[in-house]
Amino acid sequence: MISRSLGPEFGGSIGLIFAFANAVAVAMYVVGFAETTVDLLKEYASLMVDEINDIRIIGCITVALLLGISVAGMEWEAKAQIVLLVILLVAIVNMFVGTAISPTEDKKSKGFFGYETKVFMENFKPDFRDGETFFSVFAVFFPAATGILAGANISGDLRDAQDAIPKGTLLAILITGVTYLAVALCVSGTVVRDATGNTTDLITPGVPCNGSAVAACELGYDFSSCATEPCKFGLMNNFQVMTMVSGFGPLITAGTFSATLSSALASLVSAPKVFQALCKDNIYKALHFFAKGHGKNNEPIRGYVLTFIISVAFILIGNLNTIAPIISNFFLASYALINFSCFHASYAKSPGWRPAYKYYNMWLSLLGALLCCVVMFVINWWAALLTYGIEILLYIYVTVKKPDVNWGSSTQAVTFVSAVSNALSLASVEDHVKNFRPQILALTGPARVRPALLDLAHSITKNYGLCLSCEVLVGPRSEIQQEMNTVIEKNQQWLNKTKRKVFYAAVACDSFREGAESLLQASGLGRMKPNTLMIGFKRNWRTAEAEAVQSYVGILHDAFDFDYGTVVLRINQGLDVSHLIDAEDEMLKAAKEQQALDNEMIPNEGRAKGLFRKSRNSSQQVLTTRVSVCGPLPPQVAKMNERLVEASGQFKKKQPKGTIDVWWLFDDGGLTLLIPYILTTRKKWKDSKLRIFIAGQLGRSEIDKEEMKSLLHKFRIKCSDITVIDDIHVKPHNDRLKKLEDIIEPFRLHEGSKGRDHAEGMQKEYPWKITDAELSSFEEKTNLQVRLNELLHEYSKSANLIVVSMPIARKGSISDFLYMAWLDILTKDLPPTLLIRGNHKSVLTFYS
């Protein structure tokens, strides 16, 4: 109940304690039975060894017999409970009848005088002795009220638990409350606290009555000696006082046996059932052994044996007053959480929480929980601390292990309500540059396909901001929509499993660019929405269709139009590992099919060897067919795949000692500087130092360096070195320019060598091609990208990560293929490189 209400962390921690408390309760009730039996043996001088050892012997034999009844099944347990209930009811009636019968002289000497106002008034005031207090007595008495959950503990065996448990529990509280009060009032109105049991201790006529035994004195008996020496009779001394006041003493003994044995039997059934339910949830993997049931009623035989062992261990203590306070704390902790779970469910305002009880009030539940906690500490503060200490350790264990369960707990509901409330509060606050944080929308495709891109985005946003891994499913929306929910759930599960704190989102559209536009516009909630697009470099742009390249560059334009900062990641080995994932999935599928076939042929192994051989052959054939899809690979391809796998996981592991080189060439608001700074604050990047490279003018290098140093000091960003590049506009080497020409050659229009009409016709037919006029207009900017690549090779070839200000392509003035050529030549043959361009809104400030 607690697991489903508050979640497995609370339920798992209290479940063990509650099951243990029920197991110890068995020992308490059995020791109560054994104490009564030993009192009878003492009365007839028939002790076997001595009092304490007789209690242990009788207790162990009793719990073994009760175990036999429990193992026999719920039907036998229910029949035994009915018999014991009848005996108990007769005994209670017998006690009430006995209090109304005139006492004999022998009973008067033992303190029983019948109903007397004087006796009741004397007993009405408290008289704690031997260091006892109200709460120490309460701790011993409290377990007598723990049976109210007996019905809930066996809820799995009830025909209609939802109807039976509330009625049964409320009736149990009412009946036991009335019975306990009635017994206490009747006995306190008829029996004095101390009596000698000596019929000759009579009052001498004329002697005034004073001292502690005034009521007995006024009724003709002198029990004043009990003030100086211990007496054996009276309410304070005689544990068998109910036997004395009853009409027929042996019936009370039978009732005591009935009460203790029925309670012991209920706890002996409850503890294994609760423990079995806990083990079935598989919250504690090591305890799953006890989840197995036997027979048609799924009886927890293993749980019964464990409960028996725990019970015997505590029976060996042999003292009821020692055992009772131990379990009082455990039960109080359980009741506190049951009350709190009701309050918590109401506080969460979950639509699924619909209590049917007419008089339910959430604040009453909270009051009950607080009272339980307070009483725990009042009874025994160190035991309460120990109980909560155990709970907290178990809670932490379950939280760390994160069991794969979803029970719709109120903790989830409260988290949701808090998230909505905080998001709404955030929506009413204006953005401020001091609180800017990169919130990344990463176009990764399926989450597993581009792990390097995802890991770097995660590193930037972890504990800082929002990170969305996004996929565009291209195709007819009506067909894709059906599989979309499955895709989203599968990818989010993978992200959670790999402990990446990233959200996953997907859209279905007719084209990749349309889907990206939808994500850029609609992703996020209130202030919690992405402000930075992160995308991998399109490595195959030279072989891709023109429409795909236009779509890619168009997405970058769209990002700027929607006020996004833009980040492009390039790794030499590439980012896409989809072909490796497909091969891995194919292998796993083949292995499962082989395992299934092998399992089928095992039963036939002894009787049909021919069939066995046939199955083995078909199994091998399936595996061979599957493996042939993805292997064996040529050595060169295998080596490339190995490098790709290594590159794809490089941002997941700790980075070696080195540098992050930041080439801050344009003022874009500071995003190019902020992102690498954030990376240096991460544990994985702590050994990477920032190096800043800026463009300068000849003869002003030192001045530019000092200005940048001053600026970084104001921004409170530490760097290991600042380098001013004053020859950035020098013409690049001819071999580098030749490489660029080779790259763009297939995409040039060469209209200058054609006639005017022919050239115009070609431009209409191939509008995406690079014209001679365009190439001439942007020659300086094109040469700059080539020159930057030379400088990057010269200064940053050994960096862990290179961050460069991304060149901008004006929409409509620069063709998509020329722009892709710029990005390609700029980042060619370098360590992992980030091209960053902010949206020209300041993200850095001097003020803290």
Residue 235 neighbours by CB under 8 Å, 6+ apart: 111, 123, 187, 188, 191, 192, 193, 241
The band of 613, judged by pLDDT with boundaries at 50, 70 and 90, is very low
User: What's the distance, Cα to Cα, between the start and end of the chain in Å?
Assistant: 49
Tokens found for residue 803: 């961050």
pLDDT-wise least confident of 92-96, 363-367, 463-467, 589-593: 589-593
Kindly state the average pLDDT of the residues 88-93: 88
Q: Which two tokens stand for residue 730?
A: 């020098």
Quick one: angle between helices 320-347 and 362-379, nearest 10? 150
Q: pLDDT grade, residue 144 (50/70/90)?
A: confident
Mind listing the pLDDT tens digit for each residue in 455-505? Answer: 899 999 887 788 999 989 888 877 787 778 888 888 888 888 888 888 999
For residues 761-769, give the mean pLDDT: 80
Bridge partners, 545 (sequence order) = none
Q: So what's the pLDDT on residue 211? A: 61
- Asked if pLDDT for residue 143 goes beyond 80, the answer is no
pLDDT of 119 above 90: no
* pLDDT tens figures, 724-735: 998 888 888 888
Mean pLDDT of the chain: 83
**What is the pLDDT, as a whole number, of residue 207?**
67
For the cut 90, the answer to whether the pLDDT of residue 804 exceeds it is: yes
pLDDT digits (tens, 9 = 90+) for 354-396: 787 778 889 999 999 999 999 888 888 888 888 888 888 888 8
Q: Using a pLDDT cut of 70, give the percent of the chain over it.
A: 90
**pTM, 2 dp:** 0.68
- Give the residue from 438, 426, 489 showing the smallest Cα distance to 467: 438
The mean pLDDT value for 233-247 works out to: 85
Q: Are strands 658-663 and 565-570 parallel, antiparallel or unpaired?
A: unpaired
Residue 375: its pLDDT value, please?
87
Would the pLDDT of 278 be above 90?
A: no
pLDDT, tens digit, 9 for 90 and up, residues 26-84 = 888 898 888 888 888 887 878 888 888 888 999 999 989 888 877 776 666 677 778 88
Residue-level pLDDT at 819:
92
Asked if residue 625 has pLDDT above 70, the reply is no
In which band, very low, low, confident or very high, does the pLDDT at 156 lie, cut at 50, 70 and 90?
A: low
What is the tens place of the pLDDT at every residue in 408-447? 666 777 788 888 888 888 888 887 787 888 899 999 888 7
The reported pLDDT for the residue numbered 442 is 92
Least confident interval from 155-159, 672-676, 766-770: 155-159
Handedness of CA 620, 624, 625, 627 (dihedral sign): positive
* Rounded (5°) CA angle 83-88-89: 100
